Amino acid sequence: MTKAKPVIITCAVTGAIHTPSMSPHLPITPDEIRDAALGAAEAGAAIVHLHARNPENGQPSQDVNLFRQFLPQIKKQSDVVINITTGGAPNMGVEERLQPTLLLKPELASLNMGSMNFGLYEMLQRFQDFKYDWERPYLEESDDRIFRNTFRDITYILESCTKNGTRFEVECYDIGHIYAAQHFVQRGLLKTPVFLQSVFGLRGGIGGDPEDLMHMRRTADRLLGKDYVWSILGAGRNQIPLATMGLAIGSNARVGLEDSLWDGPGQLAASNAHQVRRIRTVIEALGHRVATPDEAREILQLKGRNQVDF
């Protein structure tokens, strides 16, 4: 009999899109981020994708000292692959965004493949009351905000991390971003297999239609051949439906409160672990099984958990 395919679940536990007033379940403090990551790993996530936040007001932060308050504890208590953001938040510069990855040398880090409009302002139609002063302007001003990721920025991140041995979760929000990934592979700066995270449903990127997913797949196959590992990230209500479509044709999946606060129409997800369990059910129903962290390391050719600096 054919062996069940190991499928990598990534869980992005807090991110920089949602603000604290949107959900009481969004992890904010280092302890909450630690517990969310460990809960997701226990539920079946092989990778946890991590941002930090100011524990006083929940504002996104790339302060390395905040990351140091939860990364060692996660590593001590779990063998999960730790993935640090280089995206930070759309209102940060590239040098600020890079610092945690540059200094802490994780096995894996995220890397956006292009500059884009990154519109969060439509969330104001759903959320009206905010606890902290920064939240409303952060959303309102996103209609005039460009999330900058120039070719020079991407080159800077890749070259800066070469000696660290960090590999990348390459986030592609549109078709041109896959061409950018191919470009950096051809330049020898991005190593294969490319861990290609296709992102759907964010304002400014590709939509969340099934045809959008297939277009991403066809383009990646044409440009990267067999030199990539595919994963699906559906934002908001797209999370489980698009991941399910992708899983049916061979993808891996990313879930978590960074990407969606929801567990069905009008129902807030109680935890990151709950979303992991939901997608695990889909994976197993399709006849696959969830990959262990060490299987994810082998598939993505990571350097190993003892080669980090935390």
Closest listed residue to residue 25, CA positions, set 7, 39, 5: 39
**Contact at 8 Å (CB) between 284 and 295?**
no
Residues comprising the chain, all counted: 310
Task: Give 85-135 pLDDT, tens digit per residue.
Answer: 999 999 999 999 999 999 999 999 999 999 999 999 999 999 999 999 999
pLDDT confidence tier of residue 26, bands split at 50, 70 and 90 = very high
Q: Give the model's pLDDT for residue 3.
A: 79
- Token reading at 130: 């905010």
Q: Which residue has the tokens 């879930």?
A: 255
Q: Is the pLDDT of residue 280 over 70?
A: yes
Q: Give the model's pLDDT for residue 220.
A: 98
Q: What is the mean pLDDT of the chain?
A: 97
Q: Is the pLDDT of residue 285 over 90?
A: yes
Closest listed residue to residue 192, CA positions, set 176, 181, 200: 181
Q: Give the model's pLDDT for residue 274.
A: 97
pLDDT confidence tier of residue 264, bands split at 50, 70 and 90 = confident
pLDDT, average across residues 54-81: 98
Name the β-bridge partners of 13.
Answer: none
pLDDT, average across residues 62-83: 98
Task: Give 87-96 pLDDT, tens digit per residue.
Answer: 999 999 999 9
> What whole-number percentage of the chain has pLDDT above 70?
99
CA atoms of 247 and 238, how far apart (whole Å): 14
Q: Is the pLDDT of residue 1 over 70?
A: no
CA distances to 54, 67, 75, 121, 257 from 27, in Å = 11, 13, 18, 22, 9
Q: Is the pLDDT of residue 219 over 70?
A: yes
Q: At what angle do helices 151-160 and 175-186 cross, to 10 degrees?
A: 50
Q: Give the model's pLDDT for residue 106.
A: 98
Q: Give the model's pLDDT for residue 82.
A: 98
CA atoms of 248 and 62, how far apart (whole Å): 36
Give this prediction's pTM.
Answer: 0.97
Q: Is the pLDDT of residue 24 over 70?
A: yes
Q: Which residues have C-beta within 8 Å of that of residue 137, sequence separation ≥ 6?
A: none
292 C-beta neighbours (distance < 10 Å), count: 16
Q: Give the model's pLDDT for residue 213.
A: 98
